[in-house]
Amino acid sequence: MLSRHVVTASEAGSRTDVAVARDASAPRSRVADAIRIGRVFINDEPARASRLVIEGDILEYELSEPAPLLALPERIDLTICYEDEDLLVVDKPAGMTTHPAHGTRSGTLVNALLGYLGTLPGDELRPGLVHRLDRDTSGLLVVAKTPDALSKLGIAMKARRISREYLGLVQGILEFERGTLDGPMGRDPQNRLKHAVTREGRRAITHYEVVERFARHCELRFKLETGRTHQIRVHCAAMHHAIYNDPVYGRQAPGCPLPGQALHAWRLAFAHPRTGEPLAFESAPPPAFAQTRATLAAHGS
């Protein structure tokens, strides 16, 4: 059965495949498949993915059910910062999805971890994961190798006893040297593929301080008190200082060497789940981040 959607004023100007993906809360790859086999229509005519929709257009579509998701081992190089019998800390590159999802079924960090370790405890699609990073955010993640470590690290995360700090480049010049962003977050009511500060959302707290000011941008250091999806990116956009090169909450910068937002998880600290020993790790931003920073510092463009 075809689903039906009437394009609103706020959606006008979007590509057809984007508009359908938003309405269906589905990846564009599924929409592209449906368009290819003739199961997406605009005003009763077969749709083209690139056609820009206008207010009042009637979209009708039928998307095939996605194939079951599996997390399979793959031989992918990992940057391992620390490992013992209970856990490992990895440095994820920008551009790598943390775990399989309908838009990315292979090449993820979980695929690489399973290729390296064979098995991990926990959820079938998120085994060993205590937390995650957005695909285009680089940096440190702790991974549990045993059920006991996964349980204890999960408890520590919920109790806010795992410290996570990020470096980010943002648009514009902040007025204050440091501050706290305290805004509840949930799904964006206008776009189900995004998140936003909403009155009905869950509390989200981000602390920040200015590392350096450039002509038109700043480098900030962030510390998370909570860990909502896209938290730093949403909070920065809400205060009108979007993360530089963020294609979802800001805008992509022509010629930027980063695949997405200029955000790096540079420091991770927690107590070892078995011994209680304090552990802390730091990771320098990758070359593309450093290059972007140098460009902003030199030119302010």
CA 39, CA 72: separation in Å to the nearest integer? 31
In three-state secondary structure terms, 3 is: strand
Give the integer Cα–Cα distance in Å for 131 and 166. Answer: 14
Q: Is the dihedral of CA 85, 86, 91, 95 positive or negative?
A: positive
Please list, in sequence order, all residues whose beta carbon lies within 8 angstroms of the beta carbon of residue 135, skipping any fewer than 6 positions away.
94, 95, 96, 97, 98, 104, 260
**Rounded to the nearest 10 degrees, what angle do helices 16-24 and 28-36 cross at?**
120
Q: Under a CB-based contact definition with an 8 Å cutoff, are residues 94 and 137 in contact?
A: yes
Nearest partner of 166 among 131, 186, 184, 140, judged by Cα: 140
Catalytic residue among 17, 23, 134, 136: 134
Residues 234, 232, 299: CA angle, nearest 5 degrees? 95
Known catalytic residue at 91: no
Q: Which of 185, 178, 219 is nearest to 202 (CA)?
A: 185
Active site residues: 134
